[in-house]
Structure 1
Amino acid sequence: MKIKEAASRLNTTPRTIRFYEEKGLIQPEKGENDYRYYNEADLWKLQTILALREVGMSTSKIKTTLQDENEVRKYLNMQRSALYEEWLEIKDMISTLDQMLEQPSFSQKDIFTLSNHLKDVKQKRKSWEDQWNFDSQAKDYDKSLKRSGFRFNVHEFYEEALGSAVGFVKPVEGETGLDIGIGTGNLAEKCFESGASMIGVDQSEEMLKVCGEKHPTIDTRHGHFLALPLMDKQVDFIVSSYALHHLTDEEKLLALQEMDRVLNDNGRIAIADLMFEDEEQKEAVMDQFEEEGNTEAIFAIRDEYYGLRSQLSGWFEQHGYRVEVKRLSDILHVVYAVKV
């Protein structure tokens, strides 16, 4: 078919198609009088180009990614994550405006307080970064999970932690679960063995790549705790292991809000993570490491953000959850919460 017919089929203009030809994105056959002729493969490629432009991809990036379907999928995954972040910002703005308008009267101080809160939440979502370079760890992550041989071994009770999380949520066939900080998929694997469908979220593209290769049935999505790439009330249960301690205490509370947002009514959450019972126990454990001269443990704890089990349990209870806890070691706990 000629360019006008192709443009009509794709709901675009001949000028647009010529532009993509000039950029080298498509090379249709040319017949007599130098007329361009487009076959079905050309139309498919043009439709892909138009779709990628619609979600914000540059023409130079399209040219590169069209050579590799996996690159297209990777970009779309990241674009979806970005759009969810924008959507959450809009929701926050609307919620802030609603709070203002619900008040019979408000002062400049009230407006200032609410707007500052909104600004603070937006900043937290956008400022989180991977300080530990998980992309570089992905390829050998499973091999590096040694259970012994270290003076300070955070993975000593790794299998017990994952088993406890699954034992708490008890996934069943037909349910949809979410694993946040899925890594290479070890916890999610234990969940879908029961027949549940799993969505895995991680900010590391390399971790998602390894997870996808190991478990192609898992729906892997680029994202993070503070802006989950899911709609409201989309999952029946949430699990997470060895991930939440990469957030500050304030960020942890925002992460719990995000979990609550995407969780169905009567949903369940199980978090197996590096944390202390409370501030008193934290001080006692750190003092013990100091006395033993265990600088490895002290450095590891200070390098990350080991939380307090009491803080997580308290938040869940204040928001209508029933909570159970399990201690696996001085630094490893499982918090289970049921939305009631």
Structure 2
Amino acid sequence: MGKEFLELFENWADSYDDTVTGHDIEYKEVFKHYDPLLEEVAKRSSGRVLEFGPGTGNLTRKLLDNGLTVTGIEPSPAMRKVAQTKLAGEAEILDGDFLHFAIKGQVDTIVSSYAFHHLTDEEKGYAISNYGKLLPSGGKIVFADTMYETKDAYEEAIASAQENGFHNLAEDLQREYYTTIPVLKAFMEQNNFTVTFSRVNDFVWIMEGVKK
């Protein structure tokens, strides 16, 4: 994750789970179908899983329940503390981020939820290139995140949030590095992945890339 957002997650750790369950009206649509989304990411995963930005461990829990081995990379100490408590040592949660991490051995699937937008497009391209070197043929990247079909759709989402009085959401959409599906598709294909995109709600899509 971009370190510039670390303070946000330090402050959000204790209330994050309330937000994703729809208690925050501004973000209700962002987290619509949250639990099925996590289950879908877990269903598409296999083998040893490297998870970026596990936060409070909600996706991690789904992966573990599917019998997978998980190593999480989380830059926020507060989030790591919550995750480690919830997961009771069943998964390894390490300090690091999308670009700076250390892991030993084979990785079969790389996953993330609601986090890849903390990287600029340039950083996203670098990260995907790096992940392509970690994964074997048939290995996967499965990322669930807010993304848009076009730049116009992105601008419309900001305008809609403002019109609805969702000023925090509008600021979030402008502050962080939300990208478009064509940009991600190009990065994935450039690094020898076959990629598909599945829409979950008005904000979030699941990107699944299979290494050739």
TM > 0.5: yes
Residues 36-83 of structure 1 show CA distances to partners (whole Å, capped at 9, x for unaligned) of xxxxxxxxxxxxxxxxxxxxxxxxxxxxxxxxxxxxxxxxxxxxxxxx
The answer on 1:164 being equivalent to 2:37 is no
Contact 1:246 1:305 in 2 (8 A): yes
Q: Could you tell me which residue of structure 2 aligns to residue 323 of structure 1?
A: 195
Q: Which structure carries more relative contact order (alpha carbon 8 Å, separation 6+)?
A: 2
TM-score normalised to structure 2 length = 0.87
Q: Is this contact kept in 1: 2:19–2:27, CA < 8 A?
A: no
Match of 2:186 in 1: 314
Q: Is the 8 A contact 2:114 2:144 kept in 1?
A: yes
- Of 65, 74, 86, which residue of structure 2 is paired with 1:193? 65
Asked if residue 240 in structure 1 is aligned to residue 112 in structure 2, the reply is yes
* Aligned position for 2:93: 220
- Secondary structure, counterpart of 1:179 in structure 2: strand
- The offset of 1:241, in angstroms, is 0.2
Please give the per-residue CA displacement for 1:85-117, whole angstroms capped at 9, x wherever unaligned.
xxxxxxxxxxxxxxxxxxxxxxxxxxxxxxxxx
Identify the residue that residue 140 of structure 1 maps to in structure 2.
15
CA distance in structure 1 between the aligned counterparts of 2:142 and 2:85, rounded to whole angstroms: 25
Contact 2:158 2:174 (8 Å CA) reproduced: no
SS in 2 for 1:285: helix
Q: Is the CA contact (8 Å cut-off) linking 1:276 and 1:330 kept in structure 2?
A: no
The root-mean-square deviation of aligned C-alpha atoms, in Å, is 2.3
Judged with a 3 Å threshold, the aligned counterparts in structure 2 of structure 1 residues 203 and 131 are, in CA distance, closer, same or farther, namely: closer
Deviation at 1:290, TM superposition (A): 5.1
8 Å Cα contact 2:129/2:191 also seen in 1: no
Alpha-carbon contact 1:230-1:262 (below 8 Å) kept: no
Q: Count how many residue pairs are aligned between Structure 1 and Structure 2.
A: 210
Q: Aligned equivalents of 2:26 and 2:184: distance in 1?
A: 28
Q: How far 1:271 moved relative to its partner?
A: 0.4
User: Following the alignment from structure 1 to structure 2, what is the Cα–Cα distance between the partners of residues 140 and 201?
Assistant: 20
Q: Determine what percentage of the aligned residue pairs are the same residue.
A: 31
SS at match of 1:266: coil
**Higher helix fraction (1 or 2):** 1
Contact 2:18 2:24 in 1 (8 A): no
Deviations 1:294-333 (A, max 9, x none): 5443222112221212211221112211111111223211
Q: After superposition, what is the alpha-carbon deviation per residue over 1:151-192, rounded to whole angstroms, capped at 9, x for unaligned?
A: 4432223223212212333x2xxx211110011111111112
Q: Please give the residue correspondences for 1:172-191 in structure 2 after superposition, counting only pairs within 5 Å.
A: 175-191=47-63
| Structure whose CA Rg is larger | 1
Aligned amino acid, residue 8 of structure 2: N
| Deviation of 1:337 (Å) | 0.3
Q: Secondary structure at the match of 1:133?
A: helix
**Which structure 2 residues correspond to residues 1-340 of structure 1 after superposition, within 5 A?**
128-147=3-22, 150-153=25-28, 154-169=30-45, 171=46, 175-215=47-87, 216-231=89-104, 234-289=106-161, 294-340=166-212
Asked if 2 retains the 8 angstrom alpha-carbon contact of 1:227 and 1:258, the reply is no
Q: Which residue identity is paired with 1:136?
A: N
TM-score (structure 1 length as normaliser): 0.56
The aligned amino acid for 1:247 is L
- Secondary structure in 2 aligned to 1:265? coil
Q: Distance in 1 between matches of 2:17 and 2:165?
A: 29
Q: Distance in 2 between matches of 1:207 and 1:286?
A: 28
Alpha-carbon deviations, 1:101-134, whole Å to 9, x = none? xxxxxxxxxxxxxxxxxxxxxxxx9x84335431
The 3 A distance-change label for structure 1 pair 225 and 289 is same
The alpha-carbon distance between structure 1 residues 138 and 149, as it changes in their structure 2 partners (threshold 3 A), is closer
